[in-house]
Amino acid sequence: MTFKLPELPYEYTALEPFIDSETMHRHHDKHHKAYVTKLNAALAKHPDLAGKSLHDLLKHIDDLPEKLQAPVRNNGGGHANHSLFWRLLTADAPQAPTGELLERIEARFGSFKIFKEEFTAAAMGVFGSGWVWLVLDQNHELQIMTTANQDSPIMTGNMPVLALDLWEHAYYLKYKNERLDYVQNFWKIINWPLVAELV
């Protein structure tokens, strides 16, 4: 299987002013593309894995040949994380989830406001590069978690339903060192209907 860079589901300018066009070009066309290219190069040496999906590779990463684990963790994780991230962003974002998704968030965290506060705090607590997630854990319960670098929640048996990229290349051109401004603006471009589908 040869993995491919997915096209963005919107124009590069669609998320402005919250995420600028230059960042989107560099982030998608350069960084994400590099993960795909390096993943395919690593897997080319293991034709026996050609039928494996990206989800399977990440879920069973400990079963892979030792020399392949780091390339799949870094580049497979990067490909999976970004492929979801692009879809979770939209120019026509509702300001909050509704229906069953909202009910589940309120039941788990107490209120949507508390959830936002805890998610934001988790994002600000990530040292260096990484991600903050809302996931379904192995008991199908909503949890906030963070991962370092390009690690995927799939590797620990969790299913990501909301993701925020905290690598500097995701925001530094526009926000410089003001990560909190980037995180706060993220709430204005979330594709909540997709999150509801994933949950």
> Sign of dihedral through CA atoms 9, 28, 154, 133?
negative
Report long-range pairs for 119-124 (Cβ below 8 Å, ≥24 apart).
Answer: 119/144, 119/162, 119/164, 120/180, 120/183, 120/184, 122/146, 123/164, 123/166, 123/179, 123/183, 124/179, 124/180, 124/183
Residue 79 marked in a binding site: no
Residue 169 marked in a binding site: yes
Q: Which two tokens stand for residue 174?
A: 């526009």
Report long-range pairs for 52-55 (Cβ below 8 Å, ≥24 apart).
Answer: 52/1, 53/1, 54/3, 54/79, 54/80, 55/80, 55/154
Residue 32 marked in a binding site: no
Cβ proximity of 107 and 199 under 8 Å = no
Q: Which residues are known binding-site members?
A: 27, 82, 165, 169
Q: Which residues are known binding-site members for Mn(2+)?
A: 27, 82, 165, 169
